[in-house]
Amino acid sequence: MIFDLSIVIQAESERDENFIQKKLNQALRQKYTGNEKAEFVFVKKSIDARHGQLKLCLRYKAYVGEKPAQAQKEFSWLKADGSKKVVVVGSGPAGLFAALKLLERGVKPIIIERGKKAPERKRDIAAISVKGVVDADSNYCFGEGGAGTFSDGKLYTRSDKRGNIGEVLQTFVHFGADPKILTDAHPHIGTNKLPQIIQSMRQKILDLGGEFHFECRVVDFILELATVRGVIARTADGEKEFLADAVLLATGHSASDIYELLFKVSPQSLEAKTFAVGVRVEHPRELIDKIQYHGKRESAGLGAAEYRLTSQVDGRGVYSFCMCPGGFVVPSATGPQEIVVNGMSAAERNSAWSNAAIVVETRPEDIEEIARQAGGGADFGLANDPLAGLRFRSWLERETWRHGGSDGGDNPNAAPAQRLADFLAGRQSQSLPRSSYTPGLASSRLDQWLPPFISGRLKKAFQLFDKNMKGFVCQDALLIASETRTSTPVRILRDKATFECAGLPRLYPAGEGSGWSGGIVSSAMDGQACAQKILEKIL
């Protein structure tokens, strides 16, 4: 017999094994009155800091009369013989997990990645802050591992119906992640550890006969009777054709050129979708810890505090996204004369700051209103234009640069910023607090130039958030613009049964760039699901 048990303890009691054992025995007696000895297996831990108290919620499975199930999954991959091949465009979580799924049946994945391997990519990312230089193909968004590799590695998802979350987490553990990601309520690898895990995954794929082609950008599809038979990619040595039995497209949310290519080849395969844009809000970590843990963090032995905020303002959701406790705000532009910010944390989550995106839900029908509010020079197209949101995103990123990095300072990636209290009061910040954003900041009236559709809702939401987290609005709270890459504004339509792209057979859109997932784990599961559909088609 197996019983699910939950116990609630004070945080400082977490290391008292005898106390926890006693609580578990008490919980088990509520469900089982027999005399057989039980074996308890820890499942999940979460923190409950509501009502001014700090507690831990611990979940266990109690095995009575039987042995616990095997904790770690046994992986079974086959050496690819090359008789069946699939081109995988993109080496983010969707692409890598798709490749591993294909190798379960011995199908050869040919992975094409516009960016560089993780070690070289790391140097290009450093150059963004140090030299102000953005490599359009090797940055926080593009390169081995995708956008998550150097921007946090959060593994929390509520998409439990998309696939097997446990399998994805166990795969990361197999390749070197800390096993505690299997039990933490909000698992997190950390940007300092994820690159090595991604490289281990790459090596396994290579050992099994897969291929990787880095610094190789897809520029066209090879079509035969309106069916995708491969891709044409541009390399340093010229263009090269890659033929295969299917193409899995996992290019991420920032690959604007891929959407333009699809719009040219098959416009009916795209539709506009809801997305979200806003700012990063950064606080001293100690302040957030004090608010969330009621000043008891150190005595309870807990790490940096997280928060999740959400509200409805004038018919649109305004919410926190990608909260980075003990983290950094990082530059995530993919080209010159644009500013994009994101957040990341190292595994230890021990920086002096905590930050999160605070973003406003933006629907396709809102685009025309935003264009009207923005004035001249902001023609994004009609609401039913699938690329209208993409054009708006690009416009806002250029506007952000115009109010930040274009001021002639030392770094063109300086981000416009304003104290949160000044944003709400409608005044210029005469000084800015210290920030984790290394390219530097430029004091700017965000309240004046952010589209009113966004700034107005942000103002109302921040006032609501301060009621839920008293002290959230303060002089040390800093807004940094703009957060625009929370998800793609475009969805690539696909058949519900086969997952093939609508209008382009044998093309399988997957991951964040397809518009069907968001985040590392859901993208990994989507990549697996698409790969499974490919296997059903070609084997």
pLDDT digits (tens, 9 = 90+) for 474-516: 999 999 999 999 999 999 999 999 999 999 999 999 999 999 9
For the beta carbon of residue 32, count every other beta carbon within 10 angstroms.
Answer: 15
Radius of gyration from C-alpha coordinates of the chain: 24
Interatomic CA distance for residues 167 and 365, integer angstroms: 38
pLDDT of residue 61: 92
> Which residue bears the tokens 């166990």?
170
pLDDT of residue 51: 67
AA identity, residue 112: I
3-state secondary structure 504-519: ECCEEECCHHHCCCCC
Interatomic CA distance for residues 322 and 518, integer angstroms: 11
202 confidence band (pLDDT: 50, 70, 90): very high
3-state secondary structure 403-437: CCHHHCCCCCCCEEEEEHHHHHHCCCCCCCCCCCC
CA-to-CA separations, 196 to 116, 119, 141, 230, 329, in angstroms, rounded: 14, 9, 17, 30, 22
pLDDT of residue 68: 83
Burial call 346-363: b when 16+ CB within 10 Å, e when fewer: beebebebbbbbbbbbbb
Using an 8 Å Cβ cutoff, are 177 and 199 in contact?
no
pLDDT for 67 beyond 70: yes
Q: Using a CB cutoff of 8 Å and minimum separation of 24, what contacts does 228-232 make?
A: 228/501, 228/504, 228/505, 228/506, 228/507, 229/506, 230/87, 231/87, 231/89, 231/112
pLDDT for 295 beyond 60: yes
Share of the chain above pLDDT 90, in %: 80
**What's the length of the chain?**
539
Using an 8 Å Cβ cutoff, are 360 and 316 in contact?
yes
Interatomic CA distance for residues 229 and 222, integer angstroms: 5
Interatomic CA distance for residues 441 and 331, integer angstroms: 11
> Which residue bears the tokens 């263009």?
239
- What is the mean pLDDT of the segment spanning 192-220? 97
**CA 120 and chain centroid, separation:** 21
- What is the mean pLDDT of the segment spanning 218-225? 97
Using an 8 Å Cβ cutoff, are 534 and 103 in contact?
no
According to DSSP, the β-strands at 275-284 and 415-419 are: unpaired
pLDDT of residue 71: 62
Using an 8 Å Cβ cutoff, are 250 and 511 in contact?
yes
Helical (H) or strand (E) element with 465: helix 452-468
According to DSSP, the β-strands at 270-272 and 490-492 are: antiparallel
pLDDT for 240 beyond 60: yes
286 confidence band (pLDDT: 50, 70, 90): very high
pLDDT of residue 406: 77
pLDDT for 528 beyond 60: yes
pLDDT of residue 70: 65
> Which residue bears the tokens 């984790």?
436
pLDDT for 124 beyond 70: yes
Task: With CA atoms as reference, report the closest residue to 279 among 238, 236, 329, 237.
Answer: 329
AA identity, residue 162: R
| CA distance from start to end of the chain | 40
What residues have CB less than 8 Å from 244, skipping those under 6 apart? 85, 86, 87, 110, 229, 230
* Token pair in block for residue 105: 């049946």
**Burial status of residue 133 (CB atoms within 10 A of its CB: 0-12, 13-18, 19 or more):** middle
**CA 220 and chain centroid, separation:** 27
Residue-wise pLDDT tens digits, 433-483: 999 999 999 999 999 999 999 999 999 999 999 999 999 999 999 999 999
pLDDT for 151 beyond 80: no
Residue-wise pLDDT tens digits, 352-402: 999 999 999 999 999 888 888 776 667 787 667 899 999 999 999 999 999
Interatomic CA distance for residues 355 and 306, integer angstroms: 9
pLDDT of residue 376: 62
Half-sphere exposure of 294 (CA within 13 A, CB side): 11
pLDDT for 162 beyond 90: no
* Token pair in block for residue 327: 């983290």
Residue-wise pLDDT tens digits, 32-56: 998 899 999 999 988 888 767 788 9
Using an 8 Å Cβ cutoff, are 400 and 338 in contact?
yes
Interatomic CA distance for residues 24 and 29, integer angstroms: 9
Share of the chain above pLDDT 70, in %: 97
252 confidence band (pLDDT: 50, 70, 90): very high
> Which residue bears the tokens 């010159």?
336
Residue with more model confidence, 21 or 153 = 21
407 confidence band (pLDDT: 50, 70, 90): low
Residue with more model confidence, 160 or 79 = 79
pLDDT for 299 beyond 70: no
According to DSSP, the β-strands at 328-331 and 415-419 are: unpaired
Task: With CA atoms as reference, report the closest residue to 169 among 526, 450, 480, 522.
Answer: 522
Interatomic CA distance for residues 284 and 478, integer angstroms: 9
Q: Where are the alpha helices (DSSP H) in 469-502?
A: none
Burial call 181-212: b when 16+ CB within 10 Å, e when fewer: bbbeebbbbbbebbbebbbebbebbeebbbbb
DSSP codes of every residue in 283-326: EEHHHHHHHHHTT-HHHHT--SPP---EEEETTEEEEEEEEETT
Q: Is 19 helix (H, G, I), strand (E, B) or coil?
A: helix
pLDDT of residue 49: 80
Interatomic CA distance for residues 156 and 153, integer angstroms: 9
- What is the mean pLDDT of the segment spanning 226-243? 97
